[in-house]
Amino acid sequence: MSNVYDELKLFEYVASVSKQDIDIVTSKKPYHFDKVKKVVLSPLFFRKDGCECCGKCCNNYMINMTNEWKKRVELSKEEDFTKWNLDYKIIDEVDKLLIHDIITVNNKKVDFYSIPPLDNSPIGASGFKMGRCRFALERDNHFYCKLHPIKPFAGAIPHIVFRNRNQTTHIRKQQYGRNWHLGCPIKFGEFDYDKYKENDLSMLIELEEIAKDMGIETYINDIMLYLNSIDNRLKNNIVPDKNIVFKLEGGLFE
């Protein structure tokens, strides 16, 4: 069984908004990503997302993260967990499971952390372990994340898609491409400013911090500057109705 997909996913998120070529060497294999020449922020990014805690996307993958996540773990407090009716002692389990490694990103050594998937899950046809994530908590016929207050990036951003093709990345919210099989019940809603601030902006900021850990310059600051410039419009539920394009050579147009 290979866990290359799991570390690759985090790298792909960073590469999808990178302004520079990226060469990464891990203990598993080397990776190369071409810089992105254009990022397109779709009006679909502004749709209201949600989660009905069905557990269908809580898959048993290896969890990977950089110092950005490690710092959030160290700064977390018991009340962060108890307000969600979660057990703070899960931090002790995280400490025991956490594997530290050093990867190389464009010749820079970077701290890299991982938590392996459960060993007792069957191997699927794709070569990955199937079943629920080790941190999925079943309660009242729903599934909750034991790490909700400090949820790693890849597990917290399921419906925000960074689609990178031919050095152009489209950012939007959409259902899973495999949802005919997965069956996620979420229906996207109208723009919700509070949810946008709480979820969408925090995910962009978190991705930028991960990229900083790796020493990678991204388009996130450009996107944030634009979003800040239209914040008053967003507060009044006036959202962009066409693509916003950010170019490597600078500037943007709607």
105-162 pLDDT, tens digit each:
999 999 999 998 887 655 554 444 467 888 999 999 999 999 999 998 888 877 899 9
Residuewise pLDDT in 10s, the chain (254 residues): 334 446 788 999 999 999 999 999 998 889 999 999 999 999 999 999 988 898 888 888 888 899 999 999 999 999 999 999 999 999 999 999 999 999 999 999 999 999 988 876 555 544 444 678 889 999 999 999 999 999 988 888 778 999 999 999 999 999 877 777 778 888 899 999 999 999 999 999 999 999 999 999 999 999 999 999 999 999 999 999 999 999 987 765 55
Its sign, for the CA torsion 149, 154, 155, 160, is positive
User: How crowded is residue 182: how many other Cβ atoms within 10 Å of its Cβ?
Assistant: 13
Which pLDDT does position 5 carry in this prediction?
Answer: 46
Which pLDDT does position 35 carry in this prediction?
Answer: 97
What CA–CA distance (Å, rounded) separates 127 from 93? Answer: 26
Whether 69 and 54 have beta carbons less than 8 Å apart is answered as no
Q: Which residue has the tokens 């600051």?
A: 221
What CA–CA distance (Å, rounded) separates 192 from 47? Answer: 8
Q: Is 227 left (phi over 0), alpha (psi -120 to 50) or beta?
A: alpha
What CA–CA distance (Å, rounded) separates 44 from 200? Answer: 12
Which pLDDT does position 183 carry in this prediction?
Answer: 82
What CA–CA distance (Å, rounded) separates 41 from 44? Answer: 8
CA angle, 87 as apex, 203 and 98 as ends, to 5°?
A: 65
* 3-state SS track over the chain: CCCHHHHHHHHHHHHCCECCCEEEECCCCEEEECCCCEEEECHHHHCECCCCCCCCCCECCCEEECHHHHHHHHHCCHHHHHCCCCCCCHHHHHHHHCEEEEEEECCEEEEEEEECCCCCCCECCCCCECCECCCEEEECCEEEECCHHHCCHHHHCCCEEEEEECCEEEEEECCCCCHHHHCCCCCCECCCHHHHHHHHHHHHHHHHHHHHHCCCCECHHHHHHHHHHCHHHHHCCCCCCCCEEEECCCCEEC
What CA–CA distance (Å, rounded) separates 214 from 112? Answer: 9
What CA–CA distance (Å, rounded) separates 152 from 250? Answer: 31
Which pLDDT does position 125 carry in this prediction?
Answer: 47
